[in-house]
Structure 1
Amino acid sequence: MSTSGAAAGGISVDAVLALLDLAAKGRPDEHDVVAGALAAEQLDAAAVSQVGQRVRELQGSMARLNRRDQELSALFSCARELAALHDVDELITGLVHRAHGLAGTDVTYLSEFDEETRELRVRSTAGAVAAAFQQLRVPPHTGLASKVVESRAPQWTSHYEQLHDVPHADSIDIAVRAEGLVSILGVPLIAGEQVLGVLFAANRSEHTFSPEEVALLSAFADNVAVVLQTTRLLAQARDSAAETQRAYAELAQHVEAMERAGQVHEELTEAVLRGGGAIDVARTLSAALERPVVIVDENHALLASSDGGAAAVLDSSPVRSALAASRQSARCTLLDPSVGDFRAAVAVLAGDLVLGGLLIGDGAVELGAVEQRTIERAAQITALLTLKQDAVRYAEDRVRGELLNDVLSPDVRRHSDLERRLRARRVRPEDLRTVVIAVLAPEHRRAALRAAHALAATAGLAGEVEGIVTLVVPEADPREVAAAVRDRVRAAAGIDEVLTVAGRPAGTIGELSARFAAVRDCSRILTALGVDAAAADADEYAPYTSMFAREPDGAHQFIDRMIGPVLRWDVERGTDLQATLRHFVDCNASPVRTARLMGVHTNTVLQRIDRITHLLGGSWREPEPFFRISVAVRLQALRSRSAA
């Protein structure tokens, strides 16, 4: 107190309490309020002024203490929220609402700074009502927000429309007007050297922000920045921990898959060494992958199945496409979408030679990179097994093929000691009766040979003679044998264009050479006529074979020379004189029988015969020309059936 007050004996207790109440209010008051509280005291004007100044100082100190209390309270609340929350968006929303209550403005919002795009994006708002404002993006170097980021210091305006020292953008101005904001204060959120964003407090009326308001929001922004940075670091730590766990899990799965692959490789290698087959590969791979496995040959026929069953879609178009893609890449091909129960396919290759394919079914073990490499190794092992079995079979087939060539050779010198050699291969000479050949495209000959060897495995011989797939079997009926061989080869090669020809049974081994020549010559005649899918008895075509064996293509010339005018007449006029000619030949040149067979009047037949006579000449019905024409007619019928 002043000395004058002391000389007067001090002031009353009521005056002291009143002054303490004024100081505790925490906000400066006018001088006359203090003077009113001291009106009853005996103090001069100087003492009253001195007391008023001291009270205002105390009020300022109390205001700062209150503000610090609010800041600490907000900080502690943020710390509690940080400890309790794991969701960053929810934490930011809580911080913005706390800043809203602390600043006491109409709208409070937080814009997050994007380091890549340099944009500021409104992340959370409190008090905002316009949807456009809540989704606002501020481009770089634009608006009050960018000025805060670039200056790293608080920026404010009491009237946004009159803010001319920063670039404006229509999208920002429209959003601000939609929200009705007039005065705006923005403070940066800084963590170390990094600007995380901007915290804004705004009013919908003109307002001049006091230094205390700027300081209060800045202090809270510092707390928010710490909380945000801590939250981000915690989130990154959690993400890193989760990523580490995922990496450990993937590593464990990879190690497990590698161990499983090593075990499979070891078991498959053992299968090769002990002479195992495709079924061993299928079962071993199936046990490792916990998936069914099917192995097919190059024609998609079933070779082995891990569960012993057969699949209905082995030869489907998607399976063929998947195996074709695998052949191109030499890698496992995943089927997307799956085909039936199959999820993956890999071709079995030996260089450019296609030996078949592996089809993998559905199961629990994921087909990752290691599993796919394991499937590819299994395909390689399958190729080795197939080649090994083919080599063994080829060696045996080569011996039996040499025997077959000796049996069918016209050189009698190759027949010496033949019976002993046959019995050494467990072939009884008396079982070698009927010769059958199969004619088909070269690319299918390997499959045809495999089928032929299977047919002749128990009794007979099979192999290639003069480049033709040939069998000698015990069966006696040529037509039945030809049909059986045709059906088996069709199934093995996966095609319909198979021509098989069988000869009549031989009485002795010495007759087999002539039988082979007969069926070979017959096949050449049929092939020349375009017959590529039939089961024929060579004896039925013996006359034609005798006539054209040396020059099979001469059959076409013979037909044209004998009945060419009739055929051309039919083509040019759309008639069918050749049908009448064929029936006339079959009826031994009887017009009456021909008319009855064709279901027409005899005069009609006679008129057609006259037309044929005009085309072929008057002597065509004499014995020798008629015989030749009869042969040509039957050859044409054979050629026509093939074309149909």
Structure 2
Amino acid sequence: MDDGDIHRLDLLTVLRLLAEEAPLENFEELLLRAGQECTPADQLRLEKAVRLAYGIHNAQERRRQREEALADLVDTARDLTQLHDLGELLHIITRRVKRIINADLACFGLLNEDGSLSLHAAEGVTTALVPGTRMDGGPGHQALSMGAPLWTADYLRDTSVDHWPQADEFIRAEGIKSLLAVPLFHGDSTLGVLFCATRSVRRLSPVEIGLVCSLAALGAVAIERAERLQDARSEVSELELDGFRARTTLARLEQLGDAQSRMMGLLLSGADLDTVAQAAADALDSTLQLRDPAGRIIAATAELPDLDDAGIARTSWEAHARRAPVVHGEDTWVTPVLAGAENLGFVVLRPAQALVGEDQQMLRLVVQTFALQLLLQRGAAVTEAPVHDALFNALLALPSRGSQQARHLEQRLSAVGIDLTEPHVLLAVRPEGGGYGRAIVWASSHAHGHAGLKTVQDGCIMLLLPGTDASAVARFVGGELAAVLGHPVTVGAAGPGGDPGDVGRLRAEAVRCLEALTVLDATGSTASLGDLGFMGLLLSDAQDVGGFIGSAVGPVLDYDRKNATGLTETLEAYFATGSSPSKAAEALHVHPNTVSRRLERVTALLGPEWQRPDRALDIQLALRVHRMRAVLRLGSPVAEPL
């Protein structure tokens, strides 16, 4: 308008200011001039017109705010149609709520399965609110129970609102006065509560409450959609993971099939255990050892120097009891090798990586392959057994050494890999609780695997095996066979021999030893003639008197000869006086302390158990035979070399 119109003080000026959407300060200036220039009547009319203009101006401002809010609501709805995860979606809604009604704070309380609310996506918070803080009561739960919006202009002073200590503490810390809580419903589902608040006392208009309710309705739909989308994504991820697992399992099963075919091919082609073990170790990416029931290595792809053999033995017992693989330590597996109830040994496996289900299946397949291989070897031994039995029987029937027949047998034995010019021992084995057929099969396999011979005579299993210590070989065979049969085995042993012509003599001595164990009520034990002391001397065909004396008191005789001492004489006096050191001292005409010192030396030479009754008897007999030999040969009882 022109300058003349600006200075006019009439109703038309008010209308023009209103049409131009002039600021309220222009209306106040108009009223101020009217008080100075107009009559009271004109001033009154002008004041009424300005008040009406104020109302129109406020209505226009509310309409503009409503239009902006509706525009924000439309923008929010458009944003909610985009793909957002739940957290991002909640933040979008709280930011819009805070801006639309000019609030200081907005957040969501999502409903948990136990009925509590967890706070999320807080906007405008000034204290340390931890996302996921739980609220078990307060205005949010009251709004949910009402099923309608709950608002208060001054929360802490309003007694009509449910107060909860935890909620009140948070509201007091934030300085909140007015609070609006709008429940979130979608169909029959209750999702939570939308909160908005200001830090000053404020009364919300129905339009503002309606806008927040509209946003809450949009948010409920979007939250439900986001949760379903998240569930769908989780299901897709799980399906993808299941597919990957299925493909991995299928690939591993194909590898297992290839490994099984390769090992069976090796088995059918007659490959040895070392070759099969290497193929199994390659399939499992592991170091592998096959051990017999006693823990000795039969085949191995590499050494495992850090293994504790005693601990491995204990773990193998547990594995056989469970009939399943057992973990030893952190990275080693022990698996039994079984054929029915028979223990064929165990596998020690150290994988480069942890064994999964398919790998454990492969391990079981490897163990079955080893069991089959061992049984095939045993079957080969049983197949060859008649030929070897005939050779053994021919050896037992040899009339003498050096004959044409003996030389012919040596050639035949050499053809099957047996050399009886090397030290060998003979065992007479008798199972004491049945299982005779199984014992024969085991003996055939053992003889085949140790370059020996087996035959059966008069109910006893005869084994001719390489070795220099008949007692040690007998203990080993007795222990192994007893473990297979599950009951005791009696073993008589003889040897060593070094010629095919010795076999008959060794057989006779082994049988005598077996019979002696029976007479002595020692069935289930093992012994050689050397283990029977003086009785062994009587049973022996060789009558090795010097050997008997040497085994009983040889160290004492040697000590006397080298040091010109009287330990032998002291021992004779000691036994002659009823094992009394003081009476022996009187008989020897020496001080008792001298006898005590000599007996201590005897203990050092013969061991701490030399006074045990059976040992003492052998010592006394050896001393008597020694003195008798000295008298007969030299005419005086002096110490002589053995």
TM-score normalised by length of structure 2? 0.66
User: What CA distance in whole angstroms lies between the structure 2 residues aligned with 1:197 and 1:600?
Assistant: 112
Q: 1:529 to 1:383 in 2, by over 3 A?
A: closer
Report the equivalent of 2:554. none
Report the equivalent of 2:427. 437
User: What CA distance in whole angstroms lies between the structure 2 residues aligned with 1:524 and 1:205?
Assistant: 109
Q: 1:503 to 1:237 in 2, by over 3 A?
A: closer
The equivalent position to 2:288 in structure 1, one of 257, 273, 293, is: 293
Q: Does 1:388 align with 2:371?
A: no
Cα deviations by residue, 1:461-504 (Å, 9 ceiling, x for unpaired): 346767877544698xxxx4537847986998999x99954267
Report the equivalent of 1:571. none
- 1:406 Cα offset (Å): 7.7
Aligned pair count reads 543
SS at match of 2:294: coil
Report the equivalent of 2:336. 347
Q: Give 1:585's aligned amino acid.
A: E
Q: Does 1:194 align with 2:189?
A: yes
Report the equivalent of 2:239. 244
- More displaced 10-residue stretch of structure 1: 402-411 or 240-249: 402-411
- More displaced 10-residue stretch of structure 1: 441-450 or 165-174: 441-450
- 1:64 Cα offset (Å): 1.6
Tell me if the contact between 2:290 and 2:345 (Cα under 8 Å) persists in the aligned partners.
Answer: yes
Q: 1:220 to 1:533 in 2, by over 3 A?
A: farther
- 1:385 Cα offset (Å): 1.9
User: What CA distance in whole angstroms lies between the structure 2 residues aligned with 1:152 and 1:34?
Assistant: 50
User: What CA distance in whole angstroms lies between the structure 1 residues aligned with 2:264 and 2:451?
Assistant: 32
The equivalent position to 1:137 in structure 2, one of 134, 146, 155, is: 134
Report the equivalent of 1:568. none
- 1:173 Cα offset (Å): 3.5
Q: 1:524 to 1:392 in 2, by over 3 A?
A: same
Q: 1:537 to 1:318 in 2, by over 3 A?
A: closer
Report the equivalent of 2:330. 337
- 1:132 Cα offset (Å): 6.8
Report the equivalent of 1:377. 365
The equivalent position to 1:517 in structure 2, one of 511, 524, 535, is: 511
Report the equivalent of 2:63. 61
Q: Does 1:368 align with 2:356?
A: yes
Report the equivalent of 1:634. 617
- 1:169 Cα offset (Å): 3.8
Q: Give 2:71's aligned amino acid.
A: D
User: What CA distance in whole angstroms lies between the structure 2 residues aligned with 1:505 and 1:583?
Assistant: 39
- 1:66 Cα offset (Å): 1.8
- 1:233 Cα offset (Å): 3.6
- 1:65 Cα offset (Å): 0.7
Tell me if the contact between 2:108 and 2:192 (Cα under 8 Å) persists in the aligned partners.
Answer: yes
Q: 1:322 to 1:590 in 2, by over 3 A?
A: closer
Tell me if the contact between 1:403 and 1:422 (Cα under 8 Å) persists in the aligned partners.
Answer: no
SS at match of 1:300: coil
- 1:250 Cα offset (Å): 0.8
Report the equivalent of 1:623. none
User: What CA distance in whole angstroms lies between the structure 2 residues aligned with 1:450 and 1:297?
Assistant: 13
Tell me if the contact between 2:427 and 2:462 (Cα under 8 Å) persists in the aligned partners.
Answer: yes
Report the equivalent of 1:124. 121
The equivalent position to 1:100 in structure 2, one of 91, 98, 101, is: 98
Tell me if the contact between 2:428 and 2:510 (Cα under 8 Å) persists in the aligned partners.
Answer: no
Tell me if the contact between 1:521 and 1:545 (Cα under 8 Å) persists in the aligned partners.
Answer: no
Tell me if the contact between 1:108 and 1:125 (Cα under 8 Å) persists in the aligned partners.
Answer: yes
The equivalent position to 1:283 in structure 2, one of 274, 278, 282, is: 278
The equivalent position to 1:602 in structure 2, one of 586, 589, 612, is: 589
Tell me if the contact between 2:334 and 2:349 (Cα under 8 Å) persists in the aligned partners.
Answer: yes
Q: 1:57 to 1:536 in 2, by over 3 A?
A: same
Q: 1:301 to 1:329 in 2, by over 3 A?
A: same
Tell me if the contact between 1:333 and 1:346 (Cα under 8 Å) persists in the aligned partners.
Answer: yes
- 1:261 Cα offset (Å): 1.6
SS at match of 2:286: coil
The equivalent position to 1:536 in structure 2, one of 530, 533, 549, is: 530
The equivalent position to 2:73 in structure 1, one of 68, 71, 74, is: 71
User: What CA distance in whole angstroms lies between the structure 1 residues aligned with 2:586 and 2:148?
Assistant: 114
- More displaced 10-residue stretch of structure 1: 599-608 or 178-187: 599-608
SS at match of 1:295: strand
Report the equivalent of 2:572. 585
Tell me if the contact between 1:156 and 1:185 (Cα under 8 Å) persists in the aligned partners.
Answer: yes
Q: Give 2:273's aligned amino acid.
A: A
Cα deviations by residue, 1:196-229 (Å, 9 ceiling, x for unpaired): 2211112344332221221222233334334434
Q: Give 1:153's aligned amino acid.
A: A
User: How much is the aligned-residue C-alpha RMSD, in angstroms?
Assistant: 5.6
- 1:185 Cα offset (Å): 0.6
User: What CA distance in whole angstroms lies between the structure 1 residues aligned with 2:72 and 2:586?
Assistant: 119
Tell me if the contact between 1:502 and 1:538 (Cα under 8 Å) persists in the aligned partners.
Answer: no
Tell me if the contact between 2:509 and 2:529 (Cα under 8 Å) persists in the aligned partners.
Answer: no
User: What CA distance in whole angstroms lies between the structure 2 residues aligned with 1:499 and 1:52?
Assistant: 129
SS at match of 1:128: coil
User: What CA distance in whole angstroms lies between the structure 2 residues aligned with 1:60 and 1:638?
Assistant: 131
Q: Does 1:327 align with 2:329?
A: no
Cα deviations by residue, 1:143-182 (Å, 9 ceiling, x for unpaired): 2211223344211123334555565443334443444434
SS at match of 1:105: coil
Cα deviations by residue, 1:382-415 (Å, 9 ceiling, x for unpaired): 212211221221343465357646865999xxxx
The equivalent position to 2:346 in structure 1, one of 333, 352, 357, is: 357
User: What CA distance in whole angstroms lies between the structure 2 residues aligned with 1:388 and 1:253?
Assistant: 35
Q: Equivalences for 1:493-508 in 2 at 5 Å? A: 501-502=494-495, 507=501
Tell me if the contact between 1:435 and 1:505 (Cα under 8 Å) persists in the aligned partners.
Answer: no
SS at match of 2:202: coil
Q: 1:18 to 1:491 in 2, by over 3 A?
A: farther
SS at match of 1:337: coil
Tell me if the contact between 1:482 and 1:537 (Cα under 8 Å) persists in the aligned partners.
Answer: no
Structure 2 gaps, min length 5: 1-9, 400-404, 484-489, 541-565, 597-612, 623-642
Structure 1 gaps, min length 5: 1-9, 412-416, 547-578, 610-629, 640-644
- 1:256 Cα offset (Å): 0.3
- 1:20 Cα offset (Å): 3.1
Tell me if the contact between 1:278 and 1:385 (Cα under 8 Å) persists in the aligned partners.
Answer: yes
User: What CA distance in whole angstroms lies between the structure 2 residues aligned with 1:360 and 1:633?
Assistant: 50
- Identity among equivalent pairs (%): 21
- 1:505 Cα offset (Å): 7.0
Report the equivalent of 1:172. 167
- 1:252 Cα offset (Å): 0.8
User: What CA distance in whole angstroms lies between the structure 1 residues aligned with 2:525 and 2:590?
Assistant: 36
- 1:120 Cα offset (Å): 0.5
Report the equivalent of 2:402. none
- 1:440 Cα offset (Å): 11
User: What CA distance in whole angstroms lies between the structure 2 residues aligned with 1:133 and 1:435?
Assistant: 84
Q: Give 1:213's aligned amino acid.
A: E
Q: Give 1:285's aligned amino acid.
A: A
SS at match of 1:298: coil
Tell me if the contact between 2:493 and 2:509 (Cα under 8 Å) persists in the aligned partners.
Answer: no
The equivalent position to 2:206 in structure 1, one of 191, 207, 211, is: 211
